[in-house]
Amino acid sequence: MEKLRKIILSEKEMPTKWYNILADMPNKPMPPLHPVTRQPIGPEDLAAVFPMELIKQEVSMERYIDIPDEVISLYHTYRPSPLFRAVELEKVLGTKSKIYYKYEGGNYSGSHKANTAIPQAYYNKQEGVRRITTETGAGQWGSAMSFACNHFGLELLVFMVKVSYNQKPGRKLLMNAYGARVVPSPSTMTNAGRHVLELDPDSPGSLGIAISEAMEVAVQDPYTKYSLGSVLNHVILHQTIVGEEALIQMEKTGDYPDVVIGCFGGGSNFSGIAFPFLRENLLKGKKTRFMTVEPASCPKLTKGKFMYDFGDSAGMTPLLPMYTLGHNFIPEKIHAGGLRYHGAGVLVSQLLKDGFIEAKAKMQRECFEGGVLFAKAEGILPAPESTYAIAAALDEARRADLEGVSKTILFNLSGHGHFDISAYEKFFEGNLPDHEMTAAEVEKAISEIEFPAAN
């Protein structure tokens, strides 16, 4: 009999609610603090930046939140997304384990980012917003938001981290095709950008700097709001559609994951696939492991400190309790631009601190090796970010084989690498650098800032 390779769901089977893990966390995260007063903030403090419906989602304690009909309708252009059994990869490895991956690269944006771009644009439009500002690293988030904003009739201004802007002209052009304006960050458009450029005219930029720039523009105009593609609770909420679908799909296979893996930038693709399964651990006694995989050059979860820190470089965001390398940290120019962020979302940080998830850091070249192995076997060329999840999945399968056991491994293939081909070129040429941040470097990066402890 033919092996099951692909598990698809009908539109009717697509879940119609997002899952909010805040409802089920044994230890709730500490509150965000006002950047100036350092007192806990309320919803009204965020109103200049986000529409009220997203603020409500940010702080909601409801376990499930209904997905609006208009969002469901647009989700249906590409969802439910397929779950694949990596039959060919298993053959190449000769593993006894079963490897599954949820593929989120099949939509217009080429990554999971569409899942939150669509509802964010929708809620902004509902509340009369006319223009959105945002940042983008690898460009996946910017692409996702460009189409979503155009669809709902919103203008979009994207601050794109300069190193990615230069390495990935394709992503910029895709955003242009969808009608967005794209500016390399740091830029001279904002105080935050000019300040960085004064200190270092050759700054490669960072997600933290780009966030500062986008926020600075947004707060100056009542009809302009800011939008973030990861980290925040409402973003992670929207991504849970991935894991909710995967739960139904895994049930159809007759298997259940021993481990769920996601690469880690700010937390949204990992959390999206993991949290619905983590709910099954918390509420139904399942024993799945959850693993984040971050670059060794940006190791906030494995080497960073759990403390209050800003989400951006200029200190405009609320202070959040999170694992961080310090908001002034500028990561090495590795190609997985989506993973170049100094901090981790509050939910993941708390869950890691409480031992519900694991963190792992990997070197870039090993991840690309895994990515090419995967592409040759399964066909899909993964985004550089996603290769971190692949490499960790390979580790799990190999370890299980050494131990003589068979595991069921599920990872999130968060995007394709069609716009990252220059990184693959460098890899093939042997010119892709490996960099591991040392404990001393981390200590130095963090020592420069001082905030309320978060324990």
Binding site for a copy of itself (CB under 8 A): 2-3, 5-6, 8, 10-11, 69, 72-73, 76-78, 84, 88, 106-110, 147, 150-151, 169-170, 173-174, 176-179, 372, 375-376, 378-381, 416, 418-419, 421, 424-425, 428
Question: Smallest distance from the beta carbon of 146 to a copy of itself, in angstroms?
Answer: 9
- The residue among 35 and 179 lying less far from a copy of itself, judged by its C-beta, is 179
Unique residue bearing structure tokens 């130095």: 444
Query: CA torsion 396→397→402→405, rounded to 10°?
Result: 100
- Cα-flanking dihedrals φ and ψ of residue 225, to 5°? -120, 170
User: Tokens 């693959």 sit at which residue?
Assistant: 424
Q: How far is the CB of 5 from a copy of itself (least distance, A)?
A: 5
Sequence-separated (6 or more) residues with CB below 8 Å from residue 427: 365, 368, 372
What interhelical angle do 233-253 and 268-284 show, nearest 10?
60
CB-wise, 80 or 343, nearer to a copy of itself?
Answer: 80
Rank residues 165 and 329 by Cβ distance to a copy of itself and give the closer one.
165
If you search the block for the tokens 């201004």, which residue do you land on? 157
Smallest distance from a copy of itself to CB 106, Å: 6
Of 129 and 375, nearer to a copy of itself (C-beta) is 375
Instruction: For residues 240 and 305, give the distance between their C-alpha atoms in angstroms, rounded to a whole number.
Output: 26
Task: Please list, in sequence order, all residues whose beta carbon lies within 8 angstroms of the beta carbon of residue 394, skipping any fewer than 6 positions away.
Answer: 93, 370, 373
CB-nearer residue toward a copy of itself: 107 or 187:
107
Find the shortest distance in angstroms from Cβ 278 to a copy of itself. 29
Give the residue with the Cβ less far from a copy of itself, 151 or 289: 151
Least distance from C-beta 375 to a copy of itself, angstroms? 5
**3-class secondary structure, 221:** coil
Closest CA to 97 of 413, 428, 411: 411
Residue 32 or 80: the one with the smaller Cβ distance to a copy of itself is 80
Closest CB 26 distance from a copy of itself, rounded Å: 39
Q: Please give the Cα distance from 280 to 290 (Å, whole number).
A: 12
Rg (CA), the chain: 20
Min dist. Cβ of residue 428 to a copy of itself (A)? 6
Task: Work out how close the CB of 424 gets to a copy of itself at its nearest, in angstroms, rounded to a whole number.
Answer: 6
Kindly report the number of other CB atoms within 10 A of residue 347's CB atom.
23
CB closer to a copy of itself, 246 vs 307: 246
Give the whole-angstrom CA distance, residue 241 versus residue 182: 29
Supply 331's token pair.
Answer: 């990561």
